[in-house]
Each structure stands twice: as C-alpha cells, then as structure tokens.
Amino acid sequence: MSDTRVLFVSGSLGLGHVSRDLAIVEQMRRLDPSVDVRWLAAEPATTMLVTAGEALLPEVDEWAAETAAAESVAGEYSSSIFKYVIRAYAGMDRNAVVFERVVARERFDVVVGDETYELWEPLVKKPTLLSCPYVMIYDFIGFDPRGGGLIERFGSYYFNRLWVGSDKKLFAEEPNRALFVGEPEDIPDAGLGPLLPNRRTHAREHYRFVGYTLSFDPAAYADRDEVRRALGYDDAPTIVVAIGGTSIGKALLELCAETFPLIRAQVPDVRMVLVSGPRVEPNSVRIPAGMDGQLRVEGYVPRLYEHLAACDLAIVQGGGTTTLELTALKRPFLYFPLHGHFEQEVAVSERLDRHGAGTRMSFSATTPELLAEAALAHLGREVAPAAIRTQGALEAAREILEAATGRTHSAH
C-alpha cells in the first residue's frame, strides 16, 4: 500500500495552531501508519515542528510570518485582527504563490489548512489547482469590528462576505470539508452582517464540529503531586504566567513581576515562573531585584501544559489553546484578553463563561494591587469547570483521512 501523502499548511500566528495541528497529525499516524506529512509554516511554528522532528518543505524559507505581521501592528497589550490582516495582505499573496508552486510540483492525497485564509483566493479562482481534497480547520467564524471606526466596520463586513462566499464554493460537496474545533455553542448566534447569514446557522450547514483538540490526555495529569515531582517542583505554591507564541503580551509578564512582591508579602514561600515564549528574550523582561530565585523567567517551554497541570494558579492571555488546556486540566486561572482582539474578547471569553472556567481580567484596569488581590483569592483554589469534549484531534484525524482515502479509519 502506498503512503498517504499529506500537505499540512499551519497558520503560524503564535503557537496555538501548530500545537493542535501536531496533535491531529499524531492521531492520523495512529489511525494510518502510512501517513507521510509535509509542512508549510513560518516562525515560531517551525521551531515547534523542528523540535517535534517533522518534515518541512524547503519553501518554509519563503513562507510569510504571520506572527511578525501581528506584532508590527500591536499596541500596548492590544491587537486588532483587522489591522493585522491589512498588514499581512502582501505576505498572504506571496504565500498563495508559494502554495501554487508546491502543489504543482508534488502529489498529495489531501491538503489541510489550519486557518490559512491566504489559500481562499487561489482555490476559489482556480478550481482545478488541486487534484486532491482540501480540508480547512477553523476555531471561530467571522470578523467583529472592535474599534468602532467606519473603515474597520466596512473592512470586517467585506471580509465576512468573502468568508461566506469562499465556504460556499470550497465546501459545497465532498470530499472537501471544513472542520470546526469546538462546539456549535462556541459560535455566536448572531449575524455576519447585512444580507449575510447567521454565524451559527452557516457553520452548521458548512462545517463539521470535532470538539476540542488537545496534545495530551488530561487524565494523565490528574495526580498533580506526581506531575510536580516529575518536573522538579517543591511543595511551595507555584504561579505560572504565560503569554503564548507572540511578543504582544510582554507587558503582562512585567505586570505580574511587579505584582509578585505583593503576593510574596502574604505567602512568603510562593514561586512565580514567567514563560516569555519564543518571541520575547527572557533577559528583556523587567523583574524586581532581590527575589532570591522565587521569581524567574523562562523562554520557550516545550510541553508547557505539564507546568500548567502542576501549578497552583496560572495567569495567561486570552488565547484559545492555553485557556482550553487549563479548562481541561481543571486549574484555577486568571486570563487577560488582548484589547481589541475580538476572538479573545468575544469567542474565547464566552466559551470560558459557558464552561465555568477562569476569571476574566482587564489589563488596562488592573493595577499590581488588584492583581495581587485576585491572585491570592484564586491561588490553590479547587475549581470544577464543566466537562468538555477533548477528542477533537482524533475526530479531525478521521475526517482528514476519510477525505484523503475515501475510507473510514479506526485506531490500531
């Protein structure tokens, strides 16, 4: 039997997309050991892919970095996805050209794109571009203007029209398919704009809901004492602060560092780990002097979810992946959605409210004193968020392989 060849194009904004993509590919290989995956992505996703031993196409050197575009338009703990799309547009055009060259040169049984909006135009305008099925992965639907300006409102409406039209053309019939990471309730029951459909109705008609994707089994981390011993933590209360795969959240790290002495005044043996991620140099983060090793900064931490499982409190941005992991691990956490980032401020926050997970905070309204008060109130608290469907990686893997081969797959 010949290999099942897969081109996986991973949205490279931060690390959330590539994290779930690796989880899906792991399940694909369990279901079909013949799977041969090639990747297109950019930094910081490529760092994670190389660490995982994945095969990158040579064209990754030409693939535009979405994270850099997002960072270039970010403000003080704020991020406008609309402004990001405008800035990233030239890179999206370049990526489309690179993609066309790759699929013309190599044979694939399926192409998978994780929020790869740059592929909409070539695939819609050139229906014969691919000789294999195309699978798109989403975790939200539609733009919501957050700034209130006329240009942003019009731009969001234009993008939503493009979104609806592309879905209707690309996913009108099998074997192409669109997968939604989550549940129908994760999509607002609201319209996309004048003469455009209701978001949830559109998704039900065009997407397949796979549940939530995790790269680990939460049950394996149920014994927190065992996890802490394996990671080398002592019995001291531990706070983990993480900002994801961009540099936009650096200010949150420094707010937490400024807050730490206030927390330590009440809990003398407390520890805090600031995880700066792949885009912030650890030595660039300002921390108070005289912390005696109780406050430290780490850079990129592989398998960060293990440290989240071990902590007594997490303080994070409002990213979908990290907050989902904390929900599944049943850990207390404070989260700060980026100002102006409608996915974090609306979609992720509403999902967390529904699951009874996390406590939302506002960066602009939070002083060190207020953060210390919230941290002390949640440190070590027992939480019981709603159970969530965490087999999304397996369900997505089955969908992709079925598209590629026309056969259903079960685990070996």
Domains in the chain, please, with CATH?
4-213+390-405 (3.40.50.2000), 218-378 (3.40.50.2000)
Whether the Cβ atoms of residue 11 and residue 24 lie closer than 8 Å to each other: no
Token digits for 104?
């013309």
pLDDT value, residue 154: 87
52-66 b/e (C-beta count within 10 Å ≥ 16 → b): eebebbebbeebbbb
Task: Return d(Cα 390, Cα 402) in angstroms, integer.
Answer: 20
Whether the Cβ atoms of residue 250 and residue 285 lie closer than 8 Å to each other: yes
pLDDT value, residue 87: 72
Whether the Cβ atoms of residue 79 and residue 338 lie closer than 8 Å to each other: yes
- The DSSP secondary-structure symbol of 378 reads H
Token digits for 185?
């309730």
pLDDT by position in tens, the chain (length 412):
579 999 999 986 788 999 999 999 999 999 999 999 999 999 999 999 999 999 999 999 999 887 776 777 777 888 776 676 777 667 788 999 999 999 999 999 999 999 999 999 999 999 999 999 999 999 999 988 876 678 788 888 999 999 999 999 999 989 999 999 999 999 999 999 999 999 999 999 999 999 999 999 999 999 999 999 999 999 999 999 999 988 899 999 999 999 999 999 999 999 999 999 999 999 999 999 998 889 999 999 999 999 999 999 999 999 999 999 999 999 999 999 998 888 899 899 999 999 999 999 999 999 999 999 999 999 999 999 999 999 999 999 999 999 999 987 765 4
Task: Return d(Cα 34, Cα 267) in angstroms, integer.
Answer: 53
